[in-house]
Amino acid sequence: MSWRGISLSVLVIFVVLCSAKIAHAHASMNLRNSNSNSSDTDTHQNYTQFLLTNGVARTPPMGWNSWNHFQCNIDERTVKTTADALVSTGLAALGYKYINIDDCWAEGKRDWRGNLREKRSTFPSGIKALADYVHAKGLKLGIYSDAGYKTCSKTMPGSLGHEDIDARTFAEWGIDYLKYDNCYHDGSKPLDRFARMSYALQKVARPILYAICEWGEENPAKWASRYGNAWRTTTDIKDIWESITSIADENNVWGRYAGPGRWNDPDMLEVGNGGMSLEEYQSHFSIWAIMKAPLLIGCDIRSASRETLRILGNKEAIDVNQDPLGVQARKIRSKAGLEVWAGPLSSRRVVIVLWNRSKYRAPISVGWREVGLSPSNPVSVRDLWAIASTVWSHSN
């Protein structure tokens, strides 16, 4: 028994509900939910408990980040109107909660007390007032810093050597998310530098989602869950097809390290920025969704097309991403650009993606045994882009 799709575009994603128990689903797909690790230190266990108790990143974070579209051209008005748009488009109601300011938000030097200062020319009301505005809309505010002496733009100080004071500042401002980058440091090990900010965040009386942006250089999936909620596994994303496929493959390697409270991060979404076709953006979003990646919109939501909003607003794909089981789907077969990705979901379900990365239309089939299903049991198949269901039994 198998399911077969003729790829007319690039990708098909569907969820299979089995009427009986899913037998050996994890083993069949070489998947493992590594939410616990016997080698974790007490500090790791305590910090994980701290995170889960405060409800931070139980599922992959969702929201918007300024960098992919605006880079350094970011200001208070853009952040406020983006928060407005996140609500008015209905995206906030689907789970997109974080409004994250990336690099270039601060003055070039600290004040005489050593505090970071928001850039008055672009954030005249201050970050605290901006956080209040965002929170009043039911959203959360994120900010950016760096585990070095300067941030990657070289326009503002990093937090190396100022971890405690910056963590306190972020908490006092009402920050909910910290993206912590890896530029212009002292050459010390990233584990040590990123750990320092982790310990500083633990001291403040506010749960702040901690996203480690080490670019995957020293395999952070193996160590970053001791310190943060998400970690970049790859270099920066670009709004081109080759970047999407390459990053998906790199992130796939680390699937077993992800789980509730700690996620592999293949970088922010490029959907809607104009460099790819709608079919390619649909594939990009689908693969990020099943990989349990943070879904951080990287386009200008205020002017996003109806087609872009349809992709970003696919509730059933989002539900896969936010599934409480928290197991990252993995690539289980690849031949001549024709791929099958799959992973277990809660409630006896499996998500499957048929992904045609070749240059030609071609059929892709997947056998139920490949994804841990018994071919003798009837299943319900739900296409998440066609929004259509099929009952599939032994007689089909």
Handedness of CA 108, 114, 115, 121 (dihedral sign): negative
The token pair at 120 is 């008055």
| Residue whose C-alpha is closest to residue 230's, from 193, 177, 189, 184 | 177
Catalytic residue among 181, 265, 267, 323: 181
Q: Which residues of 104-120 are buried (b: 16+ CB within 10 A; e: fewer)?
A: bbbbeebeeeeebbbbe
Both tokens of residue 105?
A: 């938000």
If DSSP codes are grouped into helix, strand and coil, which group holds residue 70?
A: helix
DSSP 8-state assignment for residue 124: T
Catalytic (active site) residue 267: no
Out of 236, 249, 319, 383, which one is annotated catalytic?
Answer: 236
Query: What's the one-letter identity of residue 388?
Result: A
Q: What is the C-alpha to C-alpha distance for residues 317 and 70, in angstroms, rounded to an integer?
A: 26
Nearest-angstrom CA–CA distance, 320 and 326: 9
Q: 30 — phi, psi (to 5°)?
A: 55, 40
Distances (CA, A) of 179 to 66, 98, 101: 12, 12, 9
- Element (DSSP H or E) covering residue 78: helix 76-88
Mode of pairing for the β-strands spanning 177-181 and 263-265? unpaired
Tokens describing residue 15:
């969820």
Token duo for residue 392: 């599939």
Is residue 181 flagged as an active site residue? yes
DSSP β-ladder status, 330-335 and 338-345: antiparallel
* 13 contacts 349 by C-beta, under 8 angstroms: no
Nearby residues of 278 by Cβ (< 8 Å), 6 or more positions away = 307, 311
Helix and strand counts by DSSP (H, E) for the chain: 11, 16
Which residues are the active-site residues? 181, 236
